[in-house]
Structure 1
Amino acid sequence: MRARMTAILSALATTVAMAVSGTPAVAAPATEYVAKLRVGGGSNTEFFRIHLVDANDITAAFASLNNQSNQFPNGLIVRTGPEYNIGYSWHLDPNDVEFVDFSIEVCDGLPSDVESGTLTSDRYCPWSARVVKMTPLP
């Protein structure tokens, strides 16, 4: 019991000393991100954002960002507001999105196709999408 109390007090003293010295604490890695994706090319280039909450999706998005993967998102379209997909009236459900190697053509297209209703599928899977930015959420 005494050894345990000594260990606790030592840890507390170290924590206080670090706080007083101004040494910044190491932040825990973010568990949620917003990924900004580029779709299309040339004059048909558009961007959209997805909220990522799954560790596998976050890893896949970083692989896309670092040109280590050609996977693209496939997610359920939610038409009740932009969430983090600013500029659009829709977003992908963060709990129903994944990065995939291939998908059916009916869900491919530009973000503006989803916005206008031209893309009629309940899923969005832009084959040319590549992650261009990852922003951690607090």
Structure 2
Amino acid sequence: MKLLLTLFVILLTFSAIVSSEEAYFAFKTHGGGHDFVFKLTDPEKIKTARNILSGDETETTHVMGRFKKSQKPYNPHYSFHLDPDQISFFQLAIEVCDAELGYVEEHLDEACGAFLPGCFYCPWSSKLTREIHMK
């Protein structure tokens, strides 16, 4: 019984470690200045992002997700960030959620209404540039 309980505790600990993985990636849009850095916490999405960067994924290569109007330390050049739980990758998306990074930053006060309704962002020209290894 004690062995079984010990194994159970080990499995729970391992599960917490695996599910707490996070990785950071950057993308640019046409006409964009600085890379936009975002965090992923889902192991499958992390794998997809790495496959995009390696060239193994060539279909769903653009970044989309809901954003929040607050700055994150890992993304210091922008006053908004993508919610890690709401990020995915796409090939095609509707036009209403498309905009260049600089335009979003300049018009952030208008976002989440008629401009980028529901705070949903899908920049068609988004291109992953790199994975960032945080210290």
**TM-score normalized by structure 2?**
0.68
1:74 and 2:74 correspond = no
TM-fit CA distance, 1:124: 1.2
Q: Deviation per CA, 1:61-114, whole angstroms, max 9, x where unpaired? A: 112212332421111010022342221110000111111222111111211121
Mark the CA change 1:35 to 1:100 in structure 2 (over 3 Å): closer, same or farther.
same
Query: Which of the numbers 59, 63, 85 marks the counterpart of 2:47?
Result: 59
Q: Is the 8 A contact 1:34 1:52 kept in 2?
A: yes
Q: Is the 8 A contact 2:65 2:120 kept in 1?
A: yes
CA distance in structure 1 between the partners assigned to 2:82 and 2:73 by the alignment: 9
Aligned pairs, number: 108
CA distance in structure 1 between the partners assigned to 2:133 and 2:95 by the alignment: 31
CA radius of gyration, larger in: 1
Q: State the percentage of identical aligned residues.
A: 27
Q: Is the 8 A contact 2:32 2:101 kept in 1?
A: no
CA distance in structure 2 between the partners assigned to 1:83 and 1:133 by the alignment: 17
- Flag structure 2 segments of 5+ consecutive residues without an equivalent: 1-17
Q: Alpha carbon RMSD of aligned pairs, Å?
A: 2.4
Report the AA paired with residue 133 of structure 1: R
CA distance in structure 2 between the partners assigned to 1:56 and 1:73 by the alignment: 14
Report the AA paired with residue 31 of structure 1: E
Query: Which of the numbers 121, 124, 133 marks the counterpart of 1:124?
Result: 121
Query: Which of the numbers 23, 27, 34 marks the counterpart of 2:24?
Result: 34
**TM-score normalized by structure 1?**
0.67
Q: Is the 8 A contact 1:84 1:91 kept in 2?
A: no
CA distance in structure 2 between the partners assigned to 1:81 and 1:128 by the alignment: 22
Q: Is the 8 A contact 1:62 1:131 kept in 2?
A: no
CA distance in structure 1 between the partners assigned to 2:48 and 2:62 by the alignment: 9
Where do 1:81-92 residues align within 5 Å?
81-92=71-82
Q: Is the 8 A contact 1:31 1:137 kept in 2?
A: no
Q: Is the 8 A contact 1:79 1:89 kept in 2?
A: yes
Q: Is the 8 A contact 1:32 1:136 kept in 2?
A: no
TM-fit CA distance, 1:137: 4.6
